[in-house]
Amino acid sequence: MATTSYLGTGRYKLLPLSPSSSNLRSCCCRPSPSKPLLPARPGSRVCNLVSVFERHKSVLFLPQNAASMHRRVITSVARAEPDRIDEGNAKQEVGKGHTLSAKEDSVSELKEKTSQLKTRIVFGLGIGLTAGGIVLAGGWVFTVALAAVVFVGAREYFELVRSHGIAEGMTPPPRYVSRVCSVICAVIPILTLYLGQIDVSVTFAAFVVAMALLLQRGIPRFAQLSSAMFGLFYCGYLPCFWVKLRCGLSAPALNTRIGATWPILLGGPAHWTVGLVATLISISSIIAADTFAFLGGKTFGRTPLTSISPKKTWEGTITGLGGCVATSVILSKIFCWPTSVLSAIAFGFLNFLGSIFGDLTESMIKRDAGVKDSGSLIPGHGGILDRVDSYVFTGALAYSFVKIFLPLYGV
């Protein structure tokens, strides 16, 4: 049954009101509005509105002397209601607009993340295939490619040192010293391949950099010397162990099944040396460690590992360690090197240790510099240091383990 409203003038005269005008009614048990609906003229009485509610009827009474005002009341109701309706519609439209905007933002954010993931995968696969071919080629191809990576990484390192976050509490090396250090870091791997050792080249490089700092026009600072020397160690000395590992361990891995059937045009069985097999296992183990650590951290990560890198968790670290060791053991069975399972487990553990330590070291440098990535050279991956940080310390550990702890290089 429809609700009916009436406007009464005097005591018994009733005039029908629209249902929407019920917003102007005021119950007799509630205090009247602070402002009258109609402005009072001089000498006239203020109109007091009293509404009586029943189950399905509502009657609004006016005093008898105010009967002439009922038209004004109806006119006020007619004018007030559209404004309220428009205000309500505006609020609904604003609410709908906010909802649509939030939905559009979430959709665009999801598309952006999907696009970044695709870019990351495509460039990651391209880098992996290229690096695999370079490792298989070995010799000068491997060394020159490593020297190019070292040069770009050294440039990124010295740019981080000169950033506002790090330079605020120290004096960075002059730009010409940074450029000289970058060139020296790129030359050291080539000298290592040519000379067969690292000591002479690194010692000579440290002497040149120290003299350049001491003979500068301004007053030399110890912070300049320490940051430059660490750059030589981090970007020049440590990567040279990959040259020692890949090209220095030239003993043939006679037990490898792949080496026995390797084509003559590509080097034949002699191409599969202990250095090649150790490099392939080491790089594959690092890739597995990063992948399993990322998946484990996303799935099970709860406990932060360190404040240096808040996204790393103990759960992801343990998962990465398991994946690294498992990959080392599986590849040792495929390549028949090393012959001992215990040696393969120890080799995988050292690879993971070097990987996580190198990653945290680079994260510490970026955190002090106040940047997210070391550069923007690789789309979806950041800079060179962001991709090779896990390999910086691993080469030295892998070479030392194979050279010192494995009898006859594990053959």
Return the pLDDT at 332. 92
Q: Residue 272: which of 144, 126, 411 has the closest Cα?
A: 411
The pLDDT-based confidence of 310 (bands split at 50, 70, 90) is confident
Return the DSSP state at 166. H
- Domain identity same for 292 and 382: yes
Position 179 in a domain: yes
Give a yes or no: residue 386 inside a domain: yes
Domain check: are 346 and 401 in the same one?
Answer: yes
Could you list the residue range(s) of the whole structural domain that residue 64 is in? 1-30+46-94
Say if residue 271 is in the same domain as residue 406: yes
Are residues 148 and 186 located together in one domain of the fold? Answer: yes
Instruction: Show the tokens assigned to 12.
Output: 């018994």
Among 53-62, 107-116, 127-136, 264-273, the minimum mean pLDDT is found in 53-62
- Looking at the structure of the chain, the number of domains it has is 3
The pLDDT, as a whole number, for residue 336 is: 86
- For residue 72, is it within any domain? yes
Lowest mean pLDDT among 38-52, 68-82, 101-115, 240-254: 38-52
Domain identity same for 155 and 85: no
Query: Rounded to an integer, what distance in angstroms lies between the CA atom of residue 143 and that of residue 155?
Result: 18
Q: What is the pLDDT of residue 34?
A: 45
pTM across the whole model: 0.71
**39 located within any domain:** no
- Residue 402, pLDDT above cutoff 60: yes
Do both 270 and 341 map to the same domain? Answer: yes
- Residue 138 backbone class (left: φ over 0; alpha: ψ -120 to 50; beta: rest): left
Residue 233 has pLDDT above 80, yes or no: yes
Position 265 pLDDT exceeds 60 = yes
- Residue 398 confidence (pLDDT): 95
The mean pLDDT of 98-113, rounded to a whole number, is: 66
Confidence of residue 37 (pLDDT cuts 50, 70, 90): very low
How far apart, in whole angstroms, are the C-alpha atoms of residue 64 and residue 26?
Answer: 19
Strand partners, 9: 13, 62
Within this chain, do residues 301 and 273 fall inside the same structural domain, yes or no? yes
pLDDT value, residue 214: 87
On the question of pLDDT at 93 being above 80, the answer is: no
The dihedrals phi and psi of 382, each to the nearest 5 degrees, come to 95, -135
Choosing from 196, 219, 248, the residue where a domain stops is: 248
pLDDT reading at 344 higher than 70:
yes
Q: Is 117 contained in some domain?
A: no
Indicate if the pLDDT at residue 223 is higher than 60. yes
Confidence category of residue 199, pLDDT binned at 50, 70, 90: confident
User: In the listed set 248, 279, 304, which residue is the last one of a domain according to the structure?
Assistant: 248
Residues 91-117: what's their mean pLDDT? 64
Mean pLDDT value across the chain = 77
Q: Which of 195, 222, 248 is the last residue of a domain?
A: 248
Across-strand partners of 57? 4
User: What is the per-residue pLDDT for 22?
Assistant: 44
Is pLDDT of 25 > 70?
A: no
The DSSP bridge pattern shows strands 304-306 and 309-313 to be antiparallel
What confidence tens digit (pLDDT) does each residue in 346-399 have?
Answer: 999 999 999 999 999 999 998 888 888 887 777 766 889 988 999 999 999 999
Largest CA distance in the chain: 120
Is residue 368 assigned to a domain? yes
- Mean pLDDT for the stretch of residues 74-96: 53
70 within some domain: yes
Examine the domain organization and report whether 298 and 405 are in the same domain: yes
Domain membership flag for residue 122? no
339 pLDDT more than 90? no
Both 258 and 407 in a single domain? yes
Q: Is the pLDDT of residue 253 over 90?
A: no
Distance of alpha carbon 400 from its chain centroid, rounded? 33
Do residue 60 and residue 5 come from a single domain? yes
**pLDDT: is 303 or 69 the higher one?**
303
8-22, 74-88, 114-128, 218-232, range with the lowest pLDDT: 8-22
Please determine, for residue 20, whether its predicted confidence score (pLDDT) is greater than 70: no
> What is the per-residue pLDDT across 115-159, written as a single tens digit (0 to 9) for each?
777 777 877 788 888 998 999 989 999 999 999 999 999 999 999
Whether residue 141 is found in the same domain as residue 221: yes
Could you tell me which residue, 254 or 56, shows the higher pLDDT?
Answer: 254
Q: Which pLDDT score is estimated for 7?
A: 44
Answer whether residue 84 shows pLDDT above 70.
no
Tell the residue number behind the tokens 């080097």, with chain if given. 267
Task: Please check whether residues 84 and 147 belong to one and the same domain.
Answer: no
Alpha carbon distance 146, 190 (integer Å)? 9
Of these ranges, 109-118, 199-208, 280-289, the one predicted with the greatest mean pLDDT is: 280-289
